[in-house]
């Protein structure tokens, strides 16, 4: 924890903030190495061929390729938090493919990035994000944001 913002409900153990940076933590099966994000809440490996019951925290890659994206133009229903007396702010969602882990992780896109700025294939990086609870309290979540200037699919630099 670097700035004292508490983890959003249900995300305890899902990420780590330190002076070295912000990382998502998968559960890694101690028997076969299978990764799960979020970490599993029920003992047992997700691989049906493995009898392992234990997992250990494993940091995930903090950059990946934008697999797809969308945006939310209409306010979602509860339990999505909506602080009192606030207008709904549209946000984009990203699905980012991590190369080493060969998995796709969803997340909200950082609020300063509009959906129009996104392209499938862009390189994205993880960043700490903040949700406001329904009582207006800040909660830590994770965001994705584009790494400026590079398109992973075409390999071309762009503005």
Partner 1 sequence: MSGMDSVAVAGVGMHPWGAWGKPFAEYGSVAARAALADAGLGWRDVQLVVGGETIRNGYPGFVAGSALSQALGWHGAPVASCYAACATGAQALSTARAHILAGLADVVLVVGADTTPKGFFAPVGGDRPDDPDWLRFRLLGATNPAYFGLYARRRMALCGSTEADFAAVKVKNARAGALNPYARFRAEVDAETVLNSPMVSDPLRLLQICATSDGAAAVVLTSEDYARRLNKDAVRIRAISAPTPTYPRTVPDFPYLASDSMATAAPAARTFRESLAHAAYEAAGIGPEDVDLAEVYDLTTAMELDWYEEIGLCAPGDAEKLLHEGATALGGRVPVNASGGLSSFGEAIPAQAIAQVCELTRQLRGDAGDRQVAGARVGVAVNQGLFGHGSAIVVGRA
- What is the binding site for partner 1 (CB under 8 A)? 8-11, 26, 29, 32-38, 41, 46-49, 67-74, 76-81, 91, 93, 95, 100-108, 115, 120-121, 131, 141
CB of 52 to partner 1, least distance (A): 11
Min dist. Cβ of residue 108 to partner 1 (A): 6
- Measured over the CA atoms of residue 25, residue 26, residue 28 and residue 29, the dihedral's sign is positive
In the complex, what is the shortest distance from the CB of residue 151 to partner 1, in angstroms, rounded to a whole number?
Answer: 12
Q: Beta 91-98 vs 122-132: how paired, if at all?
A: unpaired
- Beta-bridge partner residues of 146: 124
Is 100 or 157 the residue whose CB approaches partner 1 more closely? Answer: 100
Min dist CB 88 to partner 1, Å, is 9
- For partner 1, the closer of residues 19 and 79 by Cβ is 79
| Residue number with CB closer to partner 1 (53 or 120) | 120
Q: Decide whether 78 or 84 has the Cβ nearer to partner 1.
A: 78
């Amino acid at each position: 924890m670097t700035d004292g913002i508490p983890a959003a409900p249900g995300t305890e153990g899902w990420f780590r903030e330190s002076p070295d940076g912000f990382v998502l933590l998968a559960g890694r099966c101690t028997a076969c190495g299978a990764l799960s994000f979020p970490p599993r809440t029920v003992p047992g490996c997700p691989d049906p061929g493995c009898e392992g019951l234990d997992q250990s925290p494993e940091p995930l890659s903090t950059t990946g390729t934008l697999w797809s994206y969308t945006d939310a133009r209409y306010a979602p229903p509860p339990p999505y938090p909506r602080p009192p007396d606030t207008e709904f702010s549209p946000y984009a969602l990203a699905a980012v493919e991590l190369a080493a882990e060969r998995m796709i992780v969803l997340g909200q896109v950082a609020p300063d990035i509009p959906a129009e700025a996104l392209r499938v294939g862009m390189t994205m990086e993880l960043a700490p994000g903040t949700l406001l609870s329904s009582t207006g309290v800040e909660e830590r979540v994770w965001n994705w944001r584009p790494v400026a200037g590079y398109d992973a699919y075409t390999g071309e630099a762009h503005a």
